[in-house]
Amino acid sequence: MPEEKKDGEKKLKPCCACPETRKPRDQCIFEKGESECQELIEAHKECMRKLGFKV
């Protein structure tokens, strides 16, 4: 059951946030290693921050 905010709005979980940046980041890390994917990692962190996550 999804968590809900006090106003009844569903709370977004980190695992479900920013799929458009998470997927390419994960694929890059898998294929090339973390050190080669810093730009994608930072793009995903920025997306998460915009949604209110502290990363």
pLDDT given for residue 11 in this prediction:
83
Full DSSP string of 1-55? ---B-TTSPBPPPGGGS-HHHHHHHHHHHHHH-GGG-HHHHHHHHHHHHHTT---
Where does the pLDDT of residue 1 fall: very low under 50, low under 70, confident under 90, or very high at 90 and above?
A: very low
**Could you tell me if residue 27 is inside a domain?**
yes
Domain range for 36 is 16-50
pLDDT per residue as tens digits for the range 32-50:
999 999 999 999 999 999 9
Query: Where residue 46 sits, what CATH number does that domain have?
Result: 1.10.287.1130
**Could you tell me if residue 23 is inside a domain?**
yes
Q: Examine the pLDDT at 8 and tell me if it is beyond 70.
A: no
pLDDT given for residue 6 in this prediction:
53
**Could you tell me if residue 39 is inside a domain?**
yes
Split into its structural domains, the chain has a count of 1
Q: Examine the pLDDT at 54 and tell me if it is beyond 50.
A: yes
pLDDT given for residue 2 in this prediction:
47
